[in-house]
Every structure is written in structure tokens, then in C-alpha cells.
Amino acid sequence: MTTALSLHGIAKRFGDTAALAGVDLIVRAGSVHALLGENGAGKSTLMRIAAGLTRADVGLLTVGGAPYAARDPRDARAHGIAMVHQHFTSVDALTVWENVTLGAGWPLAGARARVAALIAARGIPLNVDATAGSLSVGLRQQLELQKALATEPRILLLDEPTGVLTPPEVTELFSTVRAFTSRGGSVVLITHKLDEALAHAEAITVLRHGKVTGDWSSADPRPTKDALLVAMLGEAGTAPRPTVTRVTPGRVVATKGSLTLHAGEVVGVAGVEGNGQRELLRSFGAEAFIPEDRTTEGAIAEFTLTENLALRSAAGARGRGVDWSALRGQMTALIDRYRVVTPGPDTPIAELSGGNQQKVIVARALEGSPELIVAENPARGLDVGAAQEIFVRLREAAAAGAAVLFYSTDLDEVVTWADRVVVMNGGDLLTPPAGADRSTIGALMVRRGGSA
């Protein structure tokens, strides 16, 4: 196999933080190369360097064996590199076809028909005249992928592309990926899902604290999950899941329709995207709310961590002003408690990795012992350790007396962490039998027609 993309000795610092420290990565033509690591390990930074969005301090890059100096995204596109970001980049007010046209740099004349033909050929259920802001999160992710493919790249960089997709959409995405590599294209897949990496990637590289800690090529024996976890997290990565106190549900905290939430209880919502989960969760109007899209609803990108904390916290209030010193101290404590990788509380939240942004948003929501916590995909895009930590925090909040309601596109998360599971199907709330297993719940998710 020839080399499509190589990065050698890549180093990058942000202030006192070493995001990358001499990383090597070789991506072969016609293959999928998985890039694993904890949140903040440097995965996205490495790919942003390849995509011309960030400049490396030190290091050499080649594309097709020729030296490549990634000056900006246009330069990357000219070299056949396209990136699908973990955070959506589409313009909410523009239509699907306008966003694809803008991303691909096409002339406007005939662009709508061109986009419609492209989407129809791939069988994607996207209305070309719908605005990006009106799409579900799953369809917005599909839009991001179509924008990248419209540039006809040779190298596709995918940053957590399946975090918000349903199982059928994941299957469809990897079908698209395989069609792309079968034509000689190369894919770098950033993912926190070990099964996904093992199932779909010929080669796997693991980063930890900005360094390569594991590297398996297609010629090597396949690594085990434990080997990947050790490379990602150290020996602690194979430690058993911590036990979490479960309490008997107490008083009624909130009721909407046929769903009643009790203190001390974690209720998980399962369902295929677009079946009413979003509307159900938001109908409770909880003060402690963790939105699905952290970049548009969870935080203000240009604000610092302390300023984002101030959006909800009353700790800094002093009369009619804000006690910024108190807020900064509170944010510093949260950084330590939630193990947020950041230079400090005055860092703009946009400079953090997606996982660390999510930790900040969850920490802010759980401060002050709220009695009702509602969370949409709270572990979206998080590595296995960080995802576990988020759910442990939610369970701890329930043990302390809160009622917790969460939805996840990952059915395993719902089954594992919820005391009680409900299913949304076609806008109807279904209740699985007591003790229902994953397959029973999954069957209710796709069942046609209404009540159980």
C-alpha cells in the first residue's frame, strides 16, 4: 500500500500545554486508519494540522509522498484533504444545498440541482431546501459528511462522526466510507468507540497526553480491547467499573403526561433519532439541563470557562454585580474535580477538546445540587473513561436526591446506567417490561404503530 498522508515529529503547544509531542502517523491509501485516545489526548489537534486549520510548531507532513505545508483549509482542499468536524460547521440560516455549495466552493448557477443529485445518489434523507438549523442532530451530521464529500477528496478526516447517529445511520456511514476507500480514498477515523475501530479500521494509532502509545498496522495482529484501553488510559483503563450507590425512588419531582420522575431515580430514554425524545426532555423545563449540541446551546465559544459558568451559577452574584473572583475560584475547583484538561479558568471554552467542553457543561449543570437534571446525549463524543465519569456523576446526583432524565443514541448507555428505561417511538412513550434486555428495548424502538 502506498502512503496517502504522513505526519512526522509533529509537536504543538498551546501556552504551557503540550497538545502534541513528536507524533508520527502514516495513513495508507485505500484504508481506514482509526485514531484513538482520551479527550484532550491530541487527536483533533493532529487532524486540524493536517486539514490546515492549525499550524504545527515542529514536524513534517507529506501527501502522496510529496512535502505538504498546510497553510489553510483551502490549501488542504487543493491537496485533496477534507475534514468532518466533531462540531457542526454549517450555517443554520442557510439551506442544505447552500451549505454544501459553500463548503465545496461551487458556483451558485445550477448548484441546487447538483446537490440534489449528489444526495439522491447516496440515498440520504436530506431535504435540500431545509435550513441546517431545522435539522435533527443526526441529519446535521449527515450534512457535514456530504459537504466534505462534495469536494471530491482523496483523504477524509472524520472526527467522531458516529457520536449522534442511530445504528442504521452508522451502518450507512460506514457503507459510504467503504465505497470511498474502495476507490482508493483514505480515511482517518477519530473515535472513542473501541468496537468501531476494531470493526472498521485496518490500522489503529493511540495517543495519550500528546504522544503515541500504541500503533497497529494492517500487518500486525489485531489488538484486544484491553490493549487499546491500556494504551489510551494506562493500566487503570482495565480497572472494573466503579460501584455507584442506588437508592429507592422517593418523592415525585416532576410529571409530564405519563412520565413521572422521582427523587433518587435515573430514567433513560431510548429511541431512534427523531421520534420525540428531544421534545419530551425539553418539556420538563429543567434548570439543570445538558443540551445535545454543546457548541450552539451548551456554551458560548468565545467566553472563558469562568464566563460560561456565570451563565448559570449564582455563586458569583454580589448585589447587582458579579463576583468574578468567586466564580474563578469555583471554576478552578470544578476543573480539578472533573479533571478538565485546560490551561486554566480564563481559557476560552472553544480552545478545549470536545470532551473537555462537555465536562465543563456537565459540571456547571450539576453545581448547586439541582433537584431535576435533564441530559441529552451527555456522553456524546467522549472516550470510554470520560463517558463513564459523566454517568457516574449523574448517578451520584441521583443518590444525593436528584431526579435524572437522560436520552442517549447509544442503547448500551441507556441499559447500563438507567434504573428505569422508557422508549419513544413515533411520539409515543412506551414502557418495556420490567427487566427487559437490550434486544427487547431495541425491538420497541423500531416497532411500528404506537403503544406497547
Domains defined for the chain, CATH in brackets = 3-238 (3.40.50.300), 240-287+370-452 (3.40.50.300), 300-369 (no CATH)
Q: Which residues contact 134 (CB under 8 A, 6 or more apart)?
A: none
Which ranges of the chain have pLDDT less than 50? 316, 450-452
Task: Say how far apart CA 355 and CA 255 lie, in whole Å.
Answer: 31
pLDDT at 452: 45
Report helix, strand or coil for 37: strand
Task: Kindly give the pairing relationship between strand 66-67 and strand 155-159.
Answer: unpaired
The β-bridge partners of 33 are 188, 203
pLDDT at 5: 95
Q: Which residues contact 164 (CB under 8 A, 6 or more apart)?
A: 137, 138, 140, 141, 273, 292, 377, 380, 409
Determine if the pTM surpasses 0.75: no
- Looking at this protein, which amino acid is placed at residue 68? Y
Q: Are 82 and 149 in contact (CB under 8 A)?
A: yes
Buried b vs exposed e over 148-179: b needs ≥16 C-beta within 10 Å?
Answer: bbbbebbbbbbbbbbbbbbeebbebbbebbee
Quote the crossing angle between the two packed helices 96-104 and 111-122, to the nearest 10°: 100
Task: Say how far apart CA 406 and CA 414 lie, in whole Å.
Answer: 8
Report in angstroms the alpha-carbon separations of 255 from 5, 246, 260, 284, 287.
54, 21, 4, 8, 15
Report in angstroms the alpha-carbon separations of 145 from 32, 39, 122, 378.
16, 22, 11, 23
Q: Which three cell numbers stand for residue 112?
A: 441546487
Give the number of C-alpha atoms closer than 13 A to the C-alpha of residue 88, restricted to the C-beta side: 25
Q: Which residues contact 179 (CB under 8 A, 6 or more apart)?
A: none
Q: Which three cell numbers stand for residue 128?
A: 435540500
pLDDT at 28: 95
Report helix, strand or coil for 140: helix
Task: Say how far apart CA 402 and CA 183 lie, in whole Å.
Answer: 52
pLDDT at 229: 87
Rg (CA), the chain: 22
Task: Say how far apart CA 305 and CA 371 lie, in whole Å.
Answer: 24
Q: Are 91 and 132 in contact (CB under 8 A)?
A: yes
Q: Which residues contact 183 (CB under 8 A, 6 or more apart)?
A: none
For the CA atoms of 398, 401, 403, 407, the dihedral, rounded to the nearest 10 degrees, stands at -10
For the CA atoms of 134, 91, 350, 413, the dihedral, rounded to the nearest 10 degrees, stands at 30
Task: Kindly give the pairing relationship between strand 203-208 and strand 211-216.
Answer: antiparallel
Q: Which three cell numbers stand for residue 142?
A: 449527515
Q: Which three cell numbers stand for residue 195?
A: 468496537
CA-based nearest residue to 165, from 124, 128, 198, 132: 124
Task: Say how far apart CA 238 and CA 228 lie, in whole Å.
Answer: 10
pLDDT at 395: 94
Specify the DSSP element, H or E, that contains 17: strand 17-28
Task: Kindly give the pairing relationship between strand 317-318 and strand 321-322.
Answer: antiparallel
Task: Say how far apart CA 396 and CA 215 lie, in whole Å.
Answer: 36
